[in-house]
Amino acid sequence: CRTELEMTRLLVLEAANQLDLHGNKKARGFLAMAK
């Protein structure tokens, strides 16, 4: 359970990073996975 939470947290952070660096179109895949 702890591992899943950590994985989800890192995925959300990566999605936010991609959104900042590349914008919405490039980050769309990460945003979908984070949902």
Residue 12, pLDDT above cutoff 90? yes
The DSSP line for 2-30 is HHHHHHHHHHHHHHHHHHHHH-HHHHHHH
Q: Per residue in 16-32, pLDDT tens?
A: 999 999 998 888 998 88
Longest dimension (CA), the chain: 31
User: Average of pLDDT values for 2-29?
Assistant: 92
Query: What range defines the domain where residue 26 resides?
Result: 2-34
